[in-house]
């Protein structure tokens, strides 16, 4: 398989979940993080894991589309979009806003959404982690695959599991092809430092569960030589065990 990190940039997020480019606001207070979805190309699919903030460059073009263009890939080639959870920094790049409303950025892709995570989002009106304008437009798209099982396989290559932790029904993904496994722990394992310091983070819905999951995943990653995809790491995108 081929793994392509699609880094929108390094950001700083304040308590109201307003995002600013870090290099343009080095003194700003908040949480520092990268935002980088991943494209995984197998023999069968072009799989996009989470879709970022939908951040645009100075010319007003979505950065995710520009990076795909550099890789000679069109958004129409994406066949599957896997969404771990519905926070805006993980889903807003799924759609583009036009003069006529929102349109799918990946028109030929099936979009996989965990139904229980959606229910939680709509029970959390006022939570700035969600962009409800985008979310409400997203669920109107015709190509959504609603997920409601605790775990399973989308196909022979893609395994998913609802694990919770960072959010109540967040799901993780493993893509296995040609004896390689790419593991995506989403915001339960967003940075390499989360494996060095065993901390239950208060920003998580269930920090203790997320911490325990990381310990289990680290052991399995070492045993099985996983490639771990790090969505929010400022410097590293893939951790090879």
Tokens describing residue 156: 């022979």
Q: Dihedral of CA 195/152/34/127: which sign?
A: negative
Q: Which residues contact 156 (CB under 8 A, 6 or more apart)?
A: none
d(CA 124, CA 54): 22
Indicate the helix (H) or strand (E) that contains 159. Answer: strand 158-162
Pairing state between β 31-35 and 9-13? antiparallel
Q: Among 138, 160, 139, which residue's Cα sits nearest to residue 148?
A: 160
d(CA 231, CA 181): 16
d(CA 15, CA 110): 33
Tokens describing residue 110: 């099936």
d(CA 37, CA 46): 13
pLDDT per position in the chain (241 positions), as tens? 999 999 999 999 999 999 999 999 888 899 999 999 999 999 999 999 999 999 999 898 999 999 999 999 999 999 999 999 999 999 999 999 988 899 999 999 999 999 999 999 999 999 999 999 999 999 999 999 999 999 999 999 999 999 999 999 999 999 999 999 999 999 999 999 999 988 999 889 999 999 999 999 999 999 999 999 999 999 999 999 9
Q: Among 92, 108, 114, 112, which residue's Cα sits nearest to residue 46?
A: 108
In contact, 33 and 20? CB cutoff 8 Å: no
Tokens describing residue 178: 């040609």
Q: Among 169, 233, 165, 239, which residue's Cα sits nearest to residue 203?
A: 165
């Amino acid at each position: 398989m081929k793994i392509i990190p699609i880094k929108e940039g390094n950001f700083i997020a304040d308590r109201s979940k307003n995002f600013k480019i870090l290099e343009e606001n080095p003194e700003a207070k908040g949480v520092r993080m990268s935002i980088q979805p991943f494209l995984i190309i197998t023999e069968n699919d072009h799989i996009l894991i989470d879709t970022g903030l939908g951040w645009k460059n100075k010319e007003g073009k979505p950065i995710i589309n520009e990076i795909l263009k550099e890789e000679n890939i069109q958004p129409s080639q994406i066949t599957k979009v896997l969404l771990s959870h519905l926070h805006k920094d993980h889903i807003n790049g799924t759609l583009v806003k036009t003069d006529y409303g929102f349109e799918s950025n990946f028109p030929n892709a099936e979009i996989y959404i965990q139904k229980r995570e959606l229910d939680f989002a709509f029970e959390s009106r006022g939570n700035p982690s969600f962009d409800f304008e985008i979310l409400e437009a997203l669920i109107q798209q015709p190509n959504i695959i609603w997920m409601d099982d605790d775990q399973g396989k989308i196909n022979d290559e893609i395994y998913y599991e609802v694990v919770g932790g960072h959010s109540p029904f967040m799901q993780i993904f493993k893509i296995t092809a040609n004896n390689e496994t790419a593991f995506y722990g989403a915001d339960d394992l967003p940075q390499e430092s989360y494996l060095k310091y065993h901390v239950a983070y208060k920003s998580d819905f269930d920090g203790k569960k997320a911490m325990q999951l990381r310990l289990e995943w680290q052991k399995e990653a070492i045993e099985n030589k996983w490639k771990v995809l790090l969505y929010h790491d400022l410097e590293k995108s893939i951790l090879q065990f």
